[in-house]
Structure 1
Amino acid sequence: MQFTASTVSLTVDDVAASQEFFTTHLGYAVQQAAEGFASLSRSDAFDVVLLARGIEVLPPEQRDQRAGGLILAYTVTEGLDEEEKRLRAAGAPITMPLREEPWGERLFQVTDPNGVVVQFVQWAGHN
């Protein structure tokens, strides 16, 4: 088996709010959208599908679940400081300021209106 794409599907309360966050702050483009659904993509990252909590396309046992307890992590090779400054200036909620861990990971986090945590990572020495 060969994979052709990677997609993360997130169940959220407000699809439009997450769609706006991902397109405005993270550079995603809308591929398809309908009531309670949006498919987003960018050429250098995994696709994101947003589904409204309670939507009937999900199996009944999944309909009331929300995206939670997960972090969407993007690894970059350069520009982490500039990206944090850009997102801060654009009004994106920086929920974990830029920091460096003892093992060499530099990172910061933003959180979308539905509580989806997005983390940007750069390994020290990759400036």
Structure 2
Amino acid sequence: MKLNAGIITNKLAETKEFYTKWLGFGVKFENDFYLLMHTPDEQSDIAFLLPDHPSQQPLFQKPFQGIGVFFTIETEDVDKIYDDLKKRGVKIVIELRDEPWGDRHFAIQDPNGVGIDIVRYTSPED
């Protein structure tokens, strides 16, 4: 079983630019109402769909309201990604920090309001 999450949004162009430019995602498929992107290692996908498209059933027509969703991107070198994004002018919503439970992470936000937690997992300190 494989999970593929999706966001219903009017911001397909902005979303595509954000994920390709800042996070190195690729486009797996796109048309005028649907965008399927993959992580740089091509191991995970995320989909974006225009709201109210006549090809879609009512369940898949209402747009995302910009709150209550986050993605986590796990990486071995969170410091490098943080430094790179900061130098390139990406707005950092949560600055790089170490948590008592072991995460070293920071967060940014996509054009749809989705929080993106970029993290390196480690064991909690005793």
TM-score, scaled to structure 2: 0.83
The structure whose residues are more often strand, as a share, is: 1
Structure 1: runs of 5 or more not aligned = none
Query: Distance between the aligned counterparts of 1:26 and 1:85, measured in 2?
Result: 13
Q: Deviations for 1:65-111, whole angstroms, at most 9, x for unmatched residues?
A: 305311110112x2111101111122222111111111111111111
- How far apart, CA to CA, are the structure 2 residues paired with 1:114 and 1:98? 22
Give, in whole Å, the separation in 2 of the partners of 1:104 and 1:97: 16
Tell me if structure 2 keeps the 8 A contact 1:106–1:123.
yes
Distance 1:51 1:29, change over 3 A: same
User: Which residue of structure 1 lines up, in the alignment, with residue 17 of structure 2?
Assistant: 20
Q: 1:51 maps to which residue? A: 49
Shift of 1:13: 2.3
* 1:44, distance to aligned residue in structure 2 (A): 4.7
Instruction: Tell me the residue number matched to 1:109.
Output: 107
Shift of 1:54: 2.2
Assess if the C-alpha contact under 8 Å between 2:10 and 2:63 holds in 1: no
Q: Aligned residues, how many?
A: 121
For 1:69, the aligned partner's letter is G
| Identity score, percent | 25
TM-score, structure 1 normalization: 0.83
Q: How does 1:1-127 map to 2 (within 5 A)?
A: 3=1, 5-42=2-39, 43-66=41-64, 68-76=67-75, 78-124=76-122
Which contiguous aligned blocks of 4+ residues in structure 1 show a shift greater than 2 angstroms?
A: 42-45, 53-59
**Deviation for aligned residue 1:115:** 1.0
Q: Which amino acid in structure 1 is aligned with residue 103 of structure 2? A: E
What residue ranges of structure 2 are gaps of 5+ in the alignment? none
Residue 94 of structure 1 aligns to a residue in which SS?
coil
Offset, 1:38: 0.9
